[in-house]
Amino acid sequence: MGLDENDLNILNVLQTNGRLSYRQISERIRISVPTVSSKIGNLERIGIISGYHARLDPERMGEFSAMVTVKARPSELPVVIRHFKSDDQVRQVFLLTGGRLLLICTYVDVRALNEFASKLALIPEILDYDVANVIGVAKELHRAVVASGASPTAKCANCGIEIRGGALRLKKGSLVHHLCSEGCLAAFRGRLGKL
Ligand SMILES: [Zn+2]
């Protein structure tokens, strides 16, 4: 279900400024407002656009960040990750190769960071960890690169599994639904018919 040039243009424009109206987007990339609206609806539904939010500057807010790497046995990573899920100061958790996690954490004061580091030492599944304070930010972009050649995944509208590549499409009004198989297509069509 590749992204066409208009999808890429919409993503480019929105990644720079998520507050633009459909009309402003349509003027910038020269496609009609209904096309912008239906394309954005589809990009949201398949999860490529996962949200809209204000981008806050932690340094301006007087906060500081630390990059934390944590090493654990791969089989114990889920247990370790559970410790960070509900911790609001752990902003991002990346699973890396070699049984490592990279955590990006932001704190309002040094004491909170020290407390976090001492908590790491008490988690038995953690074999090793390293904390490095961020002393400057030279570049920070959103992780998604808008470029042709990306092969988006979509969730099957019927069973919910991730589909990569050849999804079946069902068009209903201005909406396009993606389905993983003929079976799911038939079942979803039935569900739509009952609505
Ligand atoms: Zn399915």
42-54 tens-digit pLDDT:
899 888 999 999 9
Long-range interactions of 82-87: CB distance < 8 A, separation 24+: 83/119, 83/123, 87/116
Mean pLDDT of all residues in the chain? 90
pLDDT at 60 over 60: yes
Residue 58 C-beta-side C-alpha neighbours within 13 Å: 17
CA of residue 192 to ligand 1 center, whole Å: 15
Residue 37 C-beta-side C-alpha neighbours within 13 Å: 7
| 157 touches 177 (CB < 8 A) | yes
Kindly state the tokens that stand for 75. Answer: 């089989």
pLDDT at 6: 93
CA of residue 94 to ligand 1 center, whole Å: 28
Kindly state the tokens that stand for 182. Answer: 């003929």
pLDDT at 91: 96
Q: For the chain, which domains are there? A: 1-53 (1.10.10.10), 64-133 (3.30.70.920), 151-195 (no CATH)
Say if residue 99 is exposed, middle or buried (CB neighbours under 10 Å; 0-12, 13-18, 19+).
Answer: middle
CA of residue 27 to ligand 1 center, whole Å: 37
Q: Which residues 6+ apart lie within 8 Å of 55 measured at CB?
A: none
* Strands 90-96 vs 100-107: parallel, antiparallel or unpaired: antiparallel
CA of residue 168 to ligand 1 center, whole Å: 10
CA of residue 186 to ligand 1 center, whole Å: 10
CA of residue 182 to ligand 1 center, whole Å: 8
CA of residue 30 to ligand 1 center, whole Å: 35
Task: Report the pLDDT averaged over residues 31-48.
Answer: 92
pLDDT at 175: 75
Task: Report the pLDDT averaged over residues 143-151.
Answer: 82
pLDDT at 1: 56
Kindly state the tokens that stand for 189. Answer: 């069509």
Kindly state the tokens that stand for 103. Answer: 């955590």
Nearest partner of 66 among 132, 111, 110, judged by Cα: 132
Residues with CB under 5 A from ligand 1 (ion): 156, 158-159, 180, 184
DSSP classification of residue 181:
S
Helices and strands (H and E) in the chain: how many: 6, 8
The DSSP secondary structure of 99-146, one letter per residue, reads TEEEEEEEESSHHHHHHHHHHHHH-TTEEEEEEEE----S----S---
